[in-house]
C-alpha cells in the first residue's frame, strides 16, 4: 500500500510540473501575465520541495522571478510574439515539426508525424480545442497532454486499476520517446541563442531539466531504454 501511495504522489507531482511548464509557454494576455507575476513562482516552489533533485530548479526559479519582476504585459507579450509567432520574427518556433525534420529518426512525413501526435490525444479522449491557437505539436499542447495523462495515472492508481495505470504510463513513455523528448533540447538551445527574453530562455532550461528528471522517473525504474 505504501508503494501505491508513493506512486500516486509522484503521478500528481509530475502532473503539476507539466501543467506549470505548459502555462509558462501559453500565449500572453493580461490575465495570464497577472497569474505569472503573482502566483507562478510560488506554485513552482510548492511542488519542487517534494521533488528529489528539486533544488536544481532553485537558481532557475530565481532567474525567472527576476525576469518577471522587470517585465510588463507589453514587454513579455513582445518577447513571446518575436520568439513564437508566425507573424513575428519566429526566432524559436515552439512546435515539434521545426526540430525533428532533419533528424535521422525522422522517417515519416510532417503530416504523418502530426497525425501520430493527434492519435495519442484521441486514444485517451483528448483533442485540441477549436478555440485554441496552438497546434497539436505546440510545446504547451504536448506538455498539457502529459499533465492530463499523469492525472489519469493517479486516478487509476487511486481506483486500484493497475491495468489502466500501466496503459497510461506506457503511453506517456512512448509519447516522450517519440515526440516531446526528441526536440526540447533543440528548442531550449534556440531560446538561448536568441536571448531576447530571460524569462523564456530560463523556462527552456527548466523544461529540459524536468524532462531529464522525468525520464528517470518513467524509465529507469523498469530498466527500459530512453
**Which residue's entry shows cell 529540459?**
208
User: What value does the mean pLDDT take over residues 200-209?
Assistant: 98
Residue with more model confidence, 134 or 168: 168
What integer pLDDT is reported at residue 226 of this predicted model? 44
Q: What pTM was computed for the model?
A: 0.91
pLDDT digits (tens, 9 = 90+) for 102-149: 555 555 678 888 899 999 998 888 776 655 657 899 999 999 999 999
- Contact 222/87 with Cβ under 8 angstroms? no
Q: Nearest-5° angle of CA 161, CA 166, CA 172? A: 130
> Are 184 and 211 spatial neighbours (Cβ–Cβ below 8 Å)?
yes
Q: Where are the domains of the chain?
A: 2-220
- Each residue of 42-69: pLDDT tens digit? 999 999 999 988 999 999 999 999 999 9
Confidence bin at 220 (pLDDT 50/70/90): low
CATH annotation of 2-220: 1.10.3480.10
Amino acid at each position: 500500500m505504501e508503494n501505491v501511495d508513493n506512486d500516486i504522489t509522484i503521478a500528481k507531482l509530475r502532473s503539476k510540473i507539466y501543467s506549470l511548464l505548459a502555462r509558462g509557454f501559453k500565449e500572453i494576455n493580461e490575465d495570464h501575465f497577472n497569474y505569472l507575476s503573482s502566483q507562478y513562482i510560488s506554485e513552482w516552489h510548492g511542488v519542487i520541495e517534494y521533488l528529489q533533485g528539486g533544488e536544481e530548479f532553485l537558481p532557475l526559479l530565481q532567474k525567472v522571478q527576476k525576469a518577471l519582476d522587470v517585465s510588463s504585459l507589453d514587454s513579455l507579450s513582445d518577447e513571446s510574439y518575436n520568439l513564437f509567432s508566425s507573424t513575428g520574427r519566429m526566432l524559436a518556433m515552439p512546435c515539434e515539426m521545426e526540430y525533428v525534420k532533419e533528424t535521422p529518426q525522422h522517417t515519416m512525413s510532417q503530416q504523418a508525424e502530426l497525425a501520430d501526435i493527434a492519435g495519442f490525444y484521441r486514444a485517451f479522449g483528448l483533442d485540441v480545442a477549436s478555440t485554441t491557437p496552438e497546434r497539436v505539436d505546440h510545446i504547451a499542447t504536448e506538455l498539457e497532454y502529459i499533465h492530463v495523462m499523469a492525472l489519469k495515472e493517479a486516478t487509476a492508481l487511486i481506483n486500484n486499476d493497475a491495468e489502466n495505470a500501466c496503459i497510461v504510463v506506457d503511453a506517456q513513455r512512448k509519447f516522450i520517446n517519440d515526440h516531446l523528448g526528441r526536440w526540447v533540447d533543440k528548442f531550449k538551445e534556440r531560446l538561448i541563442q536568441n536571448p531576447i527574453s530571460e524569462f523564456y530562455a530560463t523556462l527552456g532550461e527548466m523544461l529540459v531539466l524536468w524532462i531529464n528528471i522525468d525520464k528517470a522517473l518513467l524509465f529507469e525504474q523498469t530498466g527500459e531504454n530512453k
